Chains A and B, each alone.
Chain A
Amino acid sequence: MNLDTVIFFAAAVVAVFGATMMIAQKNPIASALYLILSLVAQAILYVQLGGLFLGSILIVVYAGAIMVLFLFVIMLLNLRSSDDLGPPPPALGRFTKYAFGILLSVELIVIVKAARMPSKATGVLGFPVEDFGSVKAVSTQMFTTYVYPLELTGILMLIAVVGAVVIAKKENNAQVSDDSGSDRPAKKQVS
């Protein structure tokens, strides 16, 4: 049993433990923290598979940004336990929940059994196989073949920020009208 195997099983156990604890918690904040634990363990699994980039993105985006968002929402709503979310669903709802979970698990097992796993990553997208998924391979693609979409994405982000500011900005009444009497701006509509 070499070190790789030890790390794999350790990370796998932690990932499953985190996921289980996440859905078993009554306190939403504890749930969110267990989800982070699970995600970090999953990132380790990705790195072991050679997906260094995917692993780091998983930590930065999911364990970082999205989890902070979750925690903010939970804190803003002031949820102390899952009871704050309202009465528990009726029996039928709970049954559907378990049935759906079991169905998804069965589906997962069937897919994993049916899939013919290739022994090695076979250059999808034309990546060179040896550094598939590495930061270098991804960034090379990003700044050569996909440089035009990348720049466009930048513009999209910029205009989304500008648009959010325009929508959220305080209205400036001084600018309202420099026209003559009959053209006063319409009063606030209440209907």
Chain B
Amino acid sequence: MIDYVSALSIDFGLIVPEITVLVTSFVVMMLACSKKVSSWSSTVTLVGYVLALWFTTRQWGHQGSGFADMVTCDNFGIVFKAIFIVASIIVVFLGHRYLRVKGLHRGEYYALMLVSTLGMMVMANSSDLIVLFLGLEIMSVPLYVMAGMYRRSLESNEAGIKYFFMGAFSTAFLLLGIAFIFGASGTTNLRSIVTDFSYIANSFPVYLYAGVALILIGFGFKVGTVPFHTWVPDVYQGAPTPVTAFFSVAPKAAGFAALLRVFVYGFSEVTILSDVFWVLAVLTMTVGNLLALRQDNVKRMLAYSSISHAGYILVALVVGGADAVAAAIFYLVAYTMFNLGGFGVVTLLETRSGCKSEFNELRGLSKTNPYLTATLALFMFALSGFPPTVGFIGKFYIFSAAMQSGFVWLTVIGVMNSFVSVYYYLRVIKTSFFDEAEGTPVPAVLSPTIIIALVITAVGTLGLGLFPQQLLQLSQAAIFGMP
């Protein structure tokens, strides 16, 4: 038995951040049992996240694998873990008041969010398809519940059910794909698949390609690429707004972490994938942008906008290689900042009574909340990719990576899409600055927690835009540690 254990290399040092998050979620679940202490749950959650973030940063530069090669600790995974934790911290700040107003401020919410983050971290760190799948499920199951948590609202119920069915459906695709890959290669370990790739491709090409396609469909659902995007608008609109903010950033980043790990590292030699991603990227950008033009609800518009942003990140997958991965990571960090900021303002506006985030509710906002409107404008400029925000730099890196590899048409289509997107982002600014309100507009009441969230995201959006060098170096150092 002893030699088994040493051969497995059980190294808990690799998963300290995961354990921290898990223990925090247990503590929060315990707190939720008692009414007296359940109001502490948000504070405990924050402490847990900060601790996990600290442990994650301590891992930087460390490389290793353990648990029978199921876990790989490398800079790529560490950067993604940091993205998930930072996004979660911002969402905790951003949702606090909204949840209180809507009567959702319960310990369970934070426990679910923590476990969901745990699942994402497991995904980012996995070097085995089984672990990847389990991480995806641990991430998704709490999200289904969180989407349907606001039970007084029919839209929220609808969002929960829709997300659950589409999620379960896509999981089936993913699992069948993994089964095919296992059938072809006899292993689920990505490292072994890479090592034996030419043998697998020659012996069982059908199962290999079928497996790869099914895995791609499974992740395509999760990140909301176009043929598989139909659930996104309804779920984003129906779910409680802080949950939507969380949806639009963290699981998307986790999905891209998995996509990059599986397709840029694992199946990099499947050459047809580049063409497949080309089509997906173009479809996702274009359809997302065109449908966003027609929306009258800000949340729904942001949902379609998040689809189109997924399209921009898919460009990195078309290109492949270290530069593209770095550009994708940069873009995901940037997207986390400005998208959470945009949703933060929407969340704040929805705490006004009866507010449903329609466009015409934004009218006259600059009269009642001038600073808030300015912040909203900043995030909209960043979403549409104006300099000097980080949105511009992110798009610049992605498209320059595409140009350097000779994907001229892809770049042209991408840039044209960015121009199209300016229309609907600027519509938000125009409505809030220049349109007169019909009655007396209700001012939005700022609370300290949401100010913290907005300040973090605004500073991130502007600061990273002005000084992108540090983040760029960080994302270039975030390489796969799996030789």
Pairwise interchain contact B141-A186, C-beta atoms closer than 8 A? no
Q: A179-B100, A186-B353 are in contact. List 18 more A-B contacts (CB 8 A).
A: A147-B10, A148-B68, A149-B131, A155-B115, A155-B138, A156-B134, A159-B112, A159-B141, A163-B144, A171-B152, A173-B103, A175-B103, A175-B105, A178-B100, A182-B442, A183-B445, A184-B353, A186-B354
Residues of chain A within 8 A (CB-CB) of B70 are 146, 148-149
- How far is it, in angstroms, between the C-alpha of A62 and the C-alpha of B76 when the chains are bound? 42
Pairwise interchain contact A149-B103, C-beta atoms closer than 8 A? no
Residues of chain A within 8 A (CB-CB) of B102 are 185-186
Pairwise interchain contact A163-B103, C-beta atoms closer than 8 A? no
Give 10 nearest A-B pairs by CB, closest first: A176-B103, A163-B145, A148-B67, A152-B134, A145-B68, A148-B70, A159-B115, A183-B101, A166-B108, A144-B4
Per-position 1/0 for A130-144, Cβ under 8 A of B: 000000000010001
Residues of chain A within 8 A (CB-CB) of B465 are none
* B135 at the binding interface (Cβ < 8 Å): yes
Can you sample 14 A-B contacts with CB below 8 Å? A147-B10, A148-B67, A148-B71, A149-B70, A155-B22, A166-B108, A167-B151, A173-B103, A177-B100, A179-B100, A179-B101, A183-B352, A189-B153, A190-B154
Closest to A143 in B: B4
The residue that B118 contacts in the complex, of A155, A171, A173, with Cβ under 8 A, is A155
- How far is it, in angstroms, between the C-alpha of A190 and the C-alpha of B154 when the chains are bound? 8
B contact set with A: CB distance below 8 Å: 4-5, 8, 10, 22, 29, 35, 67-68, 70-71, 97, 100-103, 105-106, 108, 111-112, 115, 118, 122, 128, 130-131, 134-135, 137-138, 141-142, 144-145, 148-149, 151-155, 160, 186, 351-354, 442, 445
- How far is it, in angstroms, between the C-alpha of A149 and the C-alpha of B83 when the chains are bound? 24
Q: How far is the CB of B137 from chain A (nearest CB, A)?
A: 5
Closest to A169 in B: B108
Given contacts A148-B68, A152-B138, contact A171 B151 (CB under 8 A): yes
Residues of chain A within 8 A (CB-CB) of B115 are 155, 159, 162
Given contacts A159-B138, A166-B108, contact A186 B152 (CB under 8 A): yes
- How far is it, in angstroms, between the C-alpha of A67 and the C-alpha of B238 when the chains are bound? 37
* A160 at the binding interface (Cβ < 8 Å): yes
Pairwise interchain contact A152-B155, C-beta atoms closer than 8 A? no
Given contacts A144-B4, A144-B8, A162-B111, contact A152 B131 (CB under 8 A): yes
Q: How far is the CB of A145 from chain B (nearest CB, A)?
A: 4
- How far is it, in angstroms, between the C-alpha of A175 and the C-alpha of B108 when the chains are bound? 13
Residues of chain A within 8 A (CB-CB) of B148 are 167
Closest to B352 in A: A182
Q: How far is the CB of B143 from chain A (nearest CB, A)?
A: 9
* A103 at the binding interface (Cβ < 8 Å): no
The residue that A147 contacts in the complex, of B67, B152, B153, with Cβ under 8 A, is B67
Q: How far is the CB of A32 from chain B (nearest CB, A)?
A: 25
Pairwise interchain contact A166-B134, C-beta atoms closer than 8 A? no
Pairwise interchain contact B8-A147, C-beta atoms closer than 8 A? yes
The residue that A145 contacts in the complex, of B8, B111, B135, with Cβ under 8 A, is B8
Given contacts A171-B152, A177-B100, A185-B103, contact A163 B68 (CB under 8 A): no
* A124 at the binding interface (Cβ < 8 Å): yes
Residues of chain A within 8 A (CB-CB) of B155 are 189
* A113 at the binding interface (Cβ < 8 Å): no
- How far is it, in angstroms, between the C-alpha of A163 and the C-alpha of B114 when the chains are bound? 13
Q: How far is the CB of B232 from chain A (nearest CB, A)?
A: 21
- How far is it, in angstroms, between the C-alpha of A185 and the C-alpha of B160 when the chains are bound? 20
| Residue among B101, B155, B445 with max Cβ neighbours from chain A (10 Å) | B101
Closest to B134 in A: A152
- How far is it, in angstroms, between the C-alpha of A149 and the C-alpha of B141 when the chains are bound? 16
Closest to B108 in A: A166
* A188 at the binding interface (Cβ < 8 Å): yes
- How far is it, in angstroms, between the C-alpha of A166 and the C-alpha of B144 when the chains are bound? 11
Closest to B137 in A: A156
Residues of chain A within 8 A (CB-CB) of B351 are 183
- How far is it, in angstroms, between the C-alpha of A146 and the C-alpha of B29 when the chains are bound? 27
- How far is it, in angstroms, between the C-alpha of A135 and the C-alpha of B145 when the chains are bound? 36
Pairwise interchain contact B152-A189, C-beta atoms closer than 8 A? yes
- How far is it, in angstroms, between the C-alpha of A162 and the C-alpha of B144 when the chains are bound? 12
Q: How far is the CB of B76 from chain A (nearest CB, A)?
A: 19
Residues of chain B within 8 A (CB-CB) of A146 are 68, 70, 130
Q: How far is the CB of A126 from chain B (nearest CB, A)?
A: 9
Pairwise interchain contact A144-B145, C-beta atoms closer than 8 A? no
Q: How far is the CB of A124 from chain B (nearest CB, A)?
A: 7
Residues of chain A within 8 A (CB-CB) of B141 are 156, 159-160, 163
- How far is it, in angstroms, between the C-alpha of A167 and the C-alpha of B68 when the chains are bound? 37
The residue that A191 contacts in the complex, of B22, B130, B145, B154, with Cβ under 8 A, is B154
